[in-house]
Structure 1
């Protein structure tokens, strides 16, 4: 694979709406190969594969180049403006740089992405337990009781899916967990100081295209002032409900859509203001979630 030719394909892709637009005719042959795009893939599959691959490669870039790249291709939800120049202006505000500097950062990022893609193999095929995606995720958080109910509907993308690999991040480690239905819990232990890995072994293997539903009740020892999901796999929809209670409504709440993970806990990052209703409840809906980006809500730490 020739990096110089891949650079030209990436520069073509960033035009117009980027990956938020129609991509069938603007993803070149080298980029298709680097992202494991198959001949029969439709627009949705192409967008997901290219977005996932570019996001994974961009994770190895310095922060300013990563922000510039994800904005340029409209991978970040907050930077899905219809014109490339508008996305550059968004990144300029985000990085506190002028647009001319950001355009240079985008070019530098594209050069590095092309080199990384050319020097690395396409992502390996996942195991049978990983060939699935989430069609719908629903989380209900009751802050007074510190209860989190997670309901998930997944769809098998190949024959023989037998398990779901999942994880949850909490400030004080592993929560108390009850599987209400959908499989047998597998404790994978602490993956980091705050992320607990777990899985669900399914009672039988799933066929390609077969849906499956699960429900898990978490009782965390404590929570930070936010609730987000950062999907590992594509997620079609996410429904979030937070019950603060009438006597403990926070003074401010922000919706986070396609945020970078480090921004979730950054006091300087706010998101989109959102109201809490008269019952002290918050309800948010998200569509087309991108793996590796954060979606959910954050509230004032004084709550």
Structure 2
């Protein structure tokens, strides 16, 4: 369905009436344009529609100026200080917040709705274009990794929330690389790289994609439709002889949070690597911000907007370093 900004703005202005997003019969009030841009269906119940609309509206308002963002959130009853049962009460709250009269508050809301519709239509068009590409059938919204190097065999726990950018996502293609592996030219066995799924799917495939990269196929419990989210938890265990850990995504990653706990003796240097070429992750010439481990022997780094093919993570130096690293 092709959605115009004018049609969507009209539906948004209808939705703001009464209890707004908290309306008890939300399934009847959400119009076809709004359903189309938010990815809801005729079969969705009120709770599912309310959750999806809240996610979409909150995301779209981030592109608005602060005053219009506040006006729109208040109109829908999404602003925490404007959760009031009637639209007129929310208008009065906004007028007081802006230190203006009710008429000005209403104009500000109308302007915000029109701008919001433009943002929504533009973002949906971009999503359609991206979803048509094989590499954008899904992406990672949040990736959290904890790497413990003080274990007999280093362990990495990965918690990942993915978002479907197309319908019928049944399987995730993941991969890990053991860089400068002593097994170069040979298959990396299950004893060299242990992978355990804690929740979120079933590991159904494992294949060598190159001399040191292992491809993993994770079957999901049920197919995901566009815009739906799913969480998985994995554990990886492998010897790390080259001192670095980086994420080299094959699908976009919105944010990546990494904790590394070092073994004794402590590293003599730790650097943050951000958007470096994959082959340069182990090269001392690739520099980044210096990091200092805390009293527990840990460092914590955070990245946003990770681009496929580039490396993000940390590299460290220890008195005796070997020649192996781990990338996911």
Residue in structure 1 matching 2:138, options 132, 137, 157: 132
Q: How much has 1:40 moved relative to structure 2?
A: 4.9
For residue 13 of structure 1, what is the aligned residue in structure 2?
none
Q: Is the aligned partner of 1:160 residue 2:168?
A: yes
Change in Cα spacing, 1:264 to 1:184, as seen in structure 2 (3 Å) is same
**Structure 1 range deviating more: 215-224 or 281-290:** 215-224
Which of 226, 238, 247 lines up with 1:220 in the alignment? 238
Q: After superposition, give the CA deviation of every residue in 1:204-261 in whole Å (9 maximum; x if it has no partner).
A: 101211110001111113342000001111110000010004x321010000011111
Partner Cα distance (1:176, 1:160) in 2: 29
Question: Could you tell me how far apart the structure 2 residues matched to 1:289 and 1:212 are?
Answer: 19
Q: d(CA) in 2 for partners of 1:261 and 1:44? A: 31
- SS of residue in 2 equivalent to 1:262: helix
SS of 1:268's equivalent in the other structure is coil
Distance 1:301 1:187, change over 3 A: farther
The alpha carbon displacement at 1:124 in A equals: 7.1
Aligned to 2:116: none
Say what the alpha-carbon RMSD is for the aligned residues. Answer: 2.6
Stretches of structure 2 lacking an aligned partner (at least 5 in a row): 1-62, 64-119, 321-328
TM-score with structure 1 setting the length: 0.57
Counterparts in 2 of 1:301 and 1:191: CA distance versus 1, 3 Å = farther
Q: Which residue of 2 aligns with 1:149?
A: 157
Name the CA distance, whole Å, in 1 between partners of 2:242 and 2:206.
23
Report what 2:256 is aligned to.
Answer: 238
Q: Distance in 1 between matches of 2:121 and 2:143?
A: 28
Query: CA–CA distance in 2 between the matches of 1:136 and 1:244?
Result: 24
Secondary structure of 1:248's aligned partner: coil
Change beyond 3 A, Cα 1:217–1:44: farther
Report which of the two structures shows the higher radius of gyration computed on alpha carbons. Answer: 2
Q: Which SS does the other structure have where 2:279 is aligned?
A: helix
Name the CA distance, whole Å, in 2 between partners of 1:203 and 1:144: 34
Tell me: CA distance 1:141–1:238, structure 2 relative to 1, closer, same or farther (3 Å): same
**Given the alignment of the two structures, is residue 209 of structure 1 paired with residue 217 of structure 2, yes or no?**
no
8 Å contact from structure 1 (residues 133, 154) kept in 2: yes
Contact 2:268 2:317 survives alignment (8 Å): yes
Deviation at 1:42, TM superposition (A): 3.2
Deviation of 1:273 after TM superposition, in Å, equals 0.8
- Is contact 1:248–1:280 with CA below 8 Å preserved after alignment? no
Match of 1:118 in 2: none
Deviation at 1:160, TM superposition (A): 0.8
